[in-house]
A and B are shown apart, each in its own frame.
Chain A
Amino acid sequence: MSAAPIVVVRDLVKTFVARGAALRAVDGVSFDVRQGETLGLVGESGSGKSTTGRILVGLEAATSGSINLFGQEISSVRGRVTPAAVRRRLQFVFQDPQNSLNPRMRAQDAIAEPLDVTGGWSRIARDDRVRELLEMVGLPRSCGDRFPHEFSGGQRQRIGIARALALKPDFVICDEPVSSLDVSMQAQIVNLLLDLQERLGLSYLFIAHDLAVVRSISTRVAVMYAGGIVELAPKRELYTSPRHPYTQALLAAVPRITSNRARAAVITGELPSQIDTVPGCTFHPRCPFALERCRIEKPKLREIAPGHLAACHLHETPA
C-alpha cells in the first residue's frame, strides 16, 4: 500500500460484434495501478489482456465501465478521445517493434514523432531530446539516422521504448514488449525497463503471457481468464501461494528442471466460448474443485487476504 493509485479501472467491458454475435473480450475488469509500481497482467491468448491495454490508451473504445487516469475521469466509451494533457502522460510500447516502426522513417524521426505531433519543440531542442533518449535506452547517440531494418530486434524495441518516453510520461503500458525477442534480449529489455522505472519514477502496466517475465518485473500481478481478472496479488504471494484454481494450474504447468515430480492439476478442456457465455464462473467447466454454486453464480473479485484478491467461491466462506 505505498502510493495512491494513478490509474483506476472499474468494471471495464469491451464487446466485439462479429456477424451478429457479441463477443465479450473484456468482461468487467477492475484494477488500480499505483505510482511507481508495475502491475503485471498475465493470461493466455484471448483472455482480454491486450484489449484492456488498448482501451486504456484509446486504441479501442470501451463498451462500458470507467477509467480514471491521474485523477481525471476518461469517458472511453464510444469515440470520446482522451484529452491531450492526459494522453501525454500515458504511453504505449508495442509488442513487435518490427511492425510498430515505420520502415521508411529514420530512428530519430520515429522517436521524435510524439514531439513533432505535440509541437512546441525547436529543431535543436528536439534533436537534443532524441539523442538523450537514445542514450537513455542504451543505444549509441549517433545511430538516429538509421532505418529500422538496420537494427536488431532488441535495438528496435529500445527505439520503441525511447519513443514512448519522449514526452516524459508517468504511466507506460507495455503490451508483450519482449515476447518477440529471444531470451537473452528479453532479460536486457526487462532490465532496461526496471532501470528506467527507477530513474524516471514510471509506473507500468506490463501485459504478457510469460509467467517468468512477469515475475521478474512486476510489483503486483493480475491473472486474467476469459475476459476477467481471476486473481490479483502482490507478486511474491501470487507465485508462492496462488488461491484461484486457474492460477494454481497455470503455475503448476510451468516446466521445472530442478524437480521431476509429477505435474499437478493440469488443465483439461478448452477456453470457454466468449460468445455464448455460460452462467456462473467462467472457469467452472475446467475447474477440478467446481461446486454446484460455481455453475450458477459468477464469483466476484474480492479480498481474501490483505492485498490479495481472488474471484472464486472456494475462498468466500472463511474456512
Chain B
Amino acid sequence: MTEVVLAAAPTQMLAERRRFRVLRKLAAHRSFKIGLVLVAILVLCAIIGPMLTGIDPTAMSIRSRFKPPSARFPFGSDQYGRDILTRVLYGGRLSLSIGLSVALISGVFGAAIGVTAGYFRALDPYVMRLMDALMAFPAILLAIGIGAALGAQASSIVVALSVAYVPRTARIVRASVLVIREMEYLQAARVSGAGDLHIIVKHVLPNCLGPLIVQLTFIFAYAILAEAALSFLGIGPPPPAPSWGNIIAEGRDYSVEAWWVMLFPGLAVSLAALGMNLLGDGLRDVLDPRLKIET
C-alpha cells in the first residue's frame, strides 16, 4: 500500500471547497445574480409589502378614480379608485404563488411520468404518446380550454397550466433518465441487490435533478406570463382579488387615458419573468458542465 495517502488536513479543506463549487460558480455568474436579486425583491415585496402599505387592495373610492401616480397613489389609482401599488403588491402574492404551484406540480408529476417512461421501457411508448398528444396543443390553448371548463378561479389556472407543462417536463426528465439508466453505477447497484425503487430514488432521481430544476425555473416564468394572458382573456383569478394578470385585464379599457393601471403590473410580470429566466440560465450554465460559462 504505497499509494500516496493524501494528508488529511489540506484534503479536508479541498473537499470542503469543492463541495461548494456549484455555489461558488453561481456566485460568480452575473446573470444568475441579477435574476436572483430581481426575484428576491419581488418575492419580498409580495410577502411584506402589503403589511407596510396597510391599505385594503379592494377598498374603493369613487372620488379618487384614475388618479395619476402621486405621493398618495405612487402607482396611481384605477377606475374604482383603488391603490395600484397595493394591488400590485397583493397581486404578486397570487401571481407568484400560481407560478410556484405550477412549477412544483408540473415538476413532481413531470418527474414521476418521465422516470416511469424512461426507466420502465415497456411503458415508454404508451406514456410518451399520451404526453405527445398533450403537447400537440399549444400550451396556452390547452390552458384556456381547461381553465374554461373548470371555471374562473386561481386553482383552475394552476391545474390548467400544470397539465400544459407536465408533458414538457416529463420529456426532459425522460431524456436524462435514458442516459442515466445506461450508467454502470446502476448495474453496480443491481449487483448489490438493489431493487427498482432503491435505484430510482438513490441513483436516477439525484442525477436528473439538474435539468429538472432548470426547466422548473422557466416554467415558473412561463406560468406567471400565462396567468397574465389568461386573466387578460377573462379566465384568470376572478376580481376583485388582485393578480398581476387581472389588474392588467381590468385596466385595458382605459389604457389610453390611465396608462399607469396597466404599466405597473405589466412591469412586475416582465421583471418576474426576466428574473426567473436569468436565474434559470445561470443554473443551467453551472449545472451542465458541457456548456462553457460566460459571466
Contacts and interface: CB of A to CB of B under 8 A. Distances in A.
Interface residues of A, number: 42
Main secondary structure of the interface of A (DSSP, over half): helix
A319 to B, nearest CB: 46
Contacts, number: 86
A103 B193 CA distance: 20
A92 interface: yes
Contacts of B19: 147
- A57, A143, A147: which has the most chain B beta carbons within 10 Å? A143
Interface string B69-93: 0000000000000000000000000
Given A102-B203, A104-B207, A105-B202, A163 B188 contact: yes
Interface in A70-117: 84, 87-88, 91-92, 94, 96, 99-105, 113-114, 116-117
Nearest to B205: A104
Contacts of B183: 99, 102
Contacts of B188: 92, 94, 100-101, 160, 163
Of all A-B residue pairs in the complex, the 4 with the closest CB atoms, nearest first, are A114-B192, A99-B184, A138-B1, A100-B184
Interface residues of B, number: 29
A226 B59 CA distance: 86
Contacts of A155: 3
Contacts of A146: 15
A100 B187 contact: yes
Main secondary structure of the interface of B (DSSP, over half): helix
Contact of A113 (B1, B194, B195): B194
A117 B192 contact: yes
Nearest to A145: B15
A158 B278 CA distance: 42
Given A92-B188, A94-B184, A150-B15, A102 B193 contact: no
B263 interface: no
Contacts of B3: 138, 154-155, 185, 188
B202 A163 contact: no
A58 interface: yes
Interface string A241-256: 0000000000000000
A59 B187 CA distance: 7
A113 to B, nearest CB: 5
Interface in B1-43: 1-3, 5-6, 8, 11-12, 14-15, 18-19
Contact of A96 (B2, B5, B184, B189): B184
Nearest to B206: A104
- A94, A113, A116, A155: which has the most chain B beta carbons within 10 Å? A113
A156 to B, nearest CB: 11
Interface in A105-136: 105, 113-114, 116-118
A163 B192 contact: yes
B60 to A, nearest CB: 55
Interface of A: 57-59, 84, 87-88, 91-92, 94, 96, 99-105, 113-114, 116-118, 138-140, 142-143, 145-147, 149-150, 154-155, 160, 163, 166-167, 185, 188, 191-192
B95 to A, nearest CB: 34
B184 A113 contact: no
Interface in B187-211: 187-195, 198, 202-203, 206-207
B120 interface: no
A195 to B, nearest CB: 8
B185 interface: yes
B193 A118 contact: yes
A113 B192 contact: yes
Contacts of B195: 117
- B184, B185, B192: which has the most chain A beta carbons within 10 Å? B192
Contacts of A104: 206-207
Nearest to A118: B193
A101 B193 contact: no
Nearest to B14: A150
A104 B185 CA distance: 11
Interface in B122-146: none
Given A105-B203, A140-B6, A149-B18, 12 more contacts: A59-B191, A87-B193, A92-B191, A99-B185, A100-B187, A101-B185, A113-B202, A117-B193, A138-B3, A140-B8, A154-B3, A191-B1
Nearest to A87: B193
A94 B189 CA distance: 11
B187 A94 contact: yes
B185 A102 contact: yes
A273 B14 CA distance: 51
B133 to A, nearest CB: 30
Contact of B191 (A58, A138, A145, A188): A58
- B12, B19, B188: which has the most chain A beta carbons within 10 Å? B188
A102 B207 contact: yes
12 contacts: A92-B188, A94-B188, A96-B184, A102-B203, A104-B207, A113-B192, A117-B193, A118-B193, A140-B8, A147-B18, A147-B19, A191-B1
Contacts of A188: 1-3
Contacts of A145: 15
Given A150-B14, A155-B3, A114 B193 contact: yes
Contacts of A88: 193
